[in-house]
Amino acid sequence: AMRLGELLVSWGLVSQIDVDAALAHQNARGGQLGAILMAFGLMTVEQLRDALRSQESSRGARPEQAVTG
């Protein structure tokens, strides 16, 4: 399955530079990539939900089973 950052870049929601910055922040301070990108103002909770649902469905899980914590 595609990683969240790769999926968001492929959808044109964020750039690879944005993902790299968020991953650097995550490595330094922890947290979830989606939450960091939202805190940076780069995406909405709805966009994150859609991406997580798409990611889960590509693994064979139904969207309503996706954990969006």
pLDDT of residue 27: 97
pLDDT of residue 66: 47
pLDDT string in tens for the chain (69-residue length) = 789 999 999 999 999 999 999 999 999 999 999 999 999 999 999 999 999 999 888 865 444 444 444
pLDDT of residue 60: 53
58: number of Cβ within 10 Å: 11
- Per-position DSSP letters for the chain, written without gaps between them: ---HHHHHHHTTSS-HHHHHHHHHHHHHH---HHHHHHHTTSS-HHHHHHHHHHHHHHTT--GGG----
Query: What's the pTM?
Result: 0.79
